[in-house]
Amino acid sequence: MGSRRLDFYLERLIAEEQFSFYRGIADFADAEIAPHLLEWERSGVLLPREAIDGMARLGLFGIAIDEEYGGQGGGLTELVLMGLAIGYHSHSAAITPGAAVSLGAKPIAGWGSDAQRREHLGDLASGRRMVVFGLSEPGRGSDAANPQVAAERSGDHWVIRGEKCWSTNAAWASHVVVHALTAPAAPNGKRSTCFIVPVRSPGVHYEEMSGKTVWRQSSTGSITFDGVKVSSAQILGELHGGFKIMVNTLNGGRLFIAGLALASLAFALDKVRRYAQERRQFGDQPIARFQRVQDVVLEMDIALERNLSWLMHLAREFDAGKATREQFAKVKIDSSRVASHLLVEAMEICGGVACLDEFGLSRHHNDLFVTRVGEGSNRALMTFSARPLFDDCADLLQ
């Protein structure tokens, strides 16, 4: 079968050099990620070091980090293209540099002091360091403005206590940006501060979360802070300004997650159209002859073209400092929902074989679930995305 349908659309949506950039990463994923996925899955390992090093050599941890710090430059558009190229095979592999950049390096690039940027960005761009985005907690997911992890002032330093969870890249992390309560009595959104904490600090404990059935090669950790002493120099951005950093960081992350959802849809589309032409029944006819089969494939193709155009438009808007948080949320909500719905339809077209791990669709089926809850659960995002539509009675909405 011919080239990927994803490439057909991207070639028409982005500049020539961006397409070459995307193709280079897709070739790497075809050669260095795809052939090993089944073995990694069946043996239950996290992404091996060689795979991470390979992505680092390709400069993937430096996408969207300024060249003055050794990054590749570029912006969120390039990061989304990386997510499409690698996520086509594996969300786990794509999210490793994806989260390292969009959730780890970006807050430091955006809100760090000169000293913090000089200290971290070079090593982050090369993949020698990774920073974890420490927002979610066992008792706080969507209600992120009210962390239970707290930092108490003690003389000239701070002491952090509590637990963060669902921390992507924790196994490989050098630092965690901890979002902690610092002003419990302050108004909502002004109660917390972000601290950059080395994971090797006394009192920091990491454990890989067990039993995870999604993003299986991605590290997802639980990190506890048992009276961890930090100085004011470790504050990222302003004191009590932590929530603003976290929510703004998530805007870019949501575009990356929307890209992962569309990467799964693109993989499923290629898989199902190939299968429908090869599988013959009822008088040795390919099942692609059945109009009901064609309908599903066409629906997938329409959704891919529509949402890809929308996503690349918003990625450019993000890079230009435009668009609203609701727009970023809406493309994530819609891409994750439409891709998960159509992936199940695609599996049905492929029949029993779709249940086999080697067929690849069940991996995308599981991984797509994360795109519905990760970087803000869709339903929580819908709550704030509806507000601008009812501006006359905004006070009545939550």
Ligand X SMILES: Cc1cc2nc3c(=O)[nH]c(=O)nc-3n(C[C@H](O)[C@H](O)[C@H](O)COP(=O)(O)OP(=O)(O)OC[C@H]3O[C@@H](n4cnc5c(N)ncnc54)[C@H](O)[C@@H]3O)c2cc1C
Beta-strand relationship, 157-168 and 175-181: unpaired
Q: How far apart are CA 376 and CA 379, in angstroms?
A: 8
Q: Which residue is nearest to ligand X (CB)?
A: 141
What residues does 150 pair with on adjacent strands?
A: 161, 181
How many Å apart are CA 106 and CA 65, to the nearest integer? 8
SS3 at position 44:
coil
Contact indicator for 218, 46 with CB cutoff of 8 Å:
yes
Considering only the stretches 163-171, 186-194, 328-336, 358-366, report the one whose residues sit in contact with ligand X under the rule CB under 6 A.
163-171
* Sign for the pseudo-dihedral over CA of 233, 236, 240, 241: positive
Q: How far is the CB of 388 from ligand X (least distance, A)?
A: 16
Q: What are phi and psi of 2, to 5 degrees?
A: -65, -160
Whose Cβ is closer to ligand X: residue 74's or residue 221's?
221
- Euclidean distance between CA atoms 96 and 217, whole angstroms: 9
β-pairing verdict for 235-236 and 150-154: unpaired
Q: Are 194 and 179 in contact (CB under 8 A)?
A: yes
Q: How far apart are CA 14 and CA 80, in angstroms?
A: 12
Q: Residue 375 interacts with ligand X (CB under 6 A)?
A: yes
Give the footprint of ligand X on residues 61-100 (CB under 6 A): 99
Residue 373 in the binding site for ligand X (CB under 6 A): yes
Any contact of residue 383 with ligand X (CB under 6 A)?
Answer: yes
Q: Which of 37-45, 78-86, 303-311, 378-386 is the region at the interface with ligand X (rule: CB under 6 A)?
A: 378-386
Strands, DSSP E only, in 68-144?
Answer: 131-134
Which one, 35 or 138, has the nearer CB to ligand X?
A: 138
- The token pair at 74 is 């570029």
Task: Check binding of 264 to ligand X (CB under 6 A).
Answer: no
Any contact of residue 135 with ligand X (CB under 6 A)? Answer: yes
CB of 389 to ligand X, least distance (A): 15
Q: Is 220 in the site for ligand X (CB under 6 A)?
A: yes
CA distance 371 to 357: 20
Question: 157-168 and 220-231: which strand pairing?
Answer: antiparallel
Options 11-19, 135-143, 223-231, 262-270: segment touching ligand X (CB under 6 A): 135-143
Part in contact with ligand X (CB under 6 A); list of ranges 39-47, 164-172, 190-198, 322-330: 164-172
Q: Which is nearer to ligand X, 14 or 64 (by Cβ)? A: 64
Q: Shortest distance, CB of residue 16 to ligand X, whole angstroms?
A: 34
Task: Indicate the pairing of strand 131-134 with strand 175-181.
Answer: parallel
Orientation of helix 76-87 relative to helix 242-278, angle to 10°:
40
Question: Which of 133, 195, 243, 318 touches ligand X (CB under 6 A)?
Answer: 133
To the query of whether residue 375 is one of the catalytic residues in this protein, the response is yes
Q: What is the footprint of ligand X within residues 189-218 (CB under 6 A)? A: 214-215
Label residue 191 exposed, middle or buried (CB < 10 Å: 0-12, 13-18, 19+): buried
Report how many residues bind ligand X under the rule CB under 6 A: 22
Q: Is 249 in the site for ligand X (CB under 6 A)?
A: no
- Strands (DSSP E) found in 192-350: 192-198, 204-208, 220-231, 235-236, 280-281, 285-286
Give 182 or 349: the residue with its C-beta nearer to ligand X: 182
- The only residue of 141, 203, 241, 286 in contact with ligand X, by rule CB under 6 A: 141
The span of 67-75, 165-173, 295-303, 327-335 binding ligand X (CB under 6 A) equals 165-173
User: Considering the rule CB under 6 A, would residue 167 count as an interface residue with ligand X?
Assistant: yes
Residues, the chain, total? 398
Which one, 197 or 350, has the nearer CB to ligand X? 197
376 near ligand X, rule: CB under 6 A: yes
Kindly state whether residue 379 participates in binding ligand X, applying the rule CB under 6 A. Answer: yes
Q: Judged by CB under 6 A, does residue 380 bind ligand X?
A: yes
Amino acid at 212: K
Residues 6+ apart with CB under 8 A from 292: none
- Distance of closest approach, residue 123 Cβ to ligand X, in angstroms: 19
Active-site residue set: 375
Binding site for ligand X (CB under 6 A): 99, 103, 133, 135-136, 141-142, 166-168, 214-215, 220, 370, 373-377, 379-380, 383
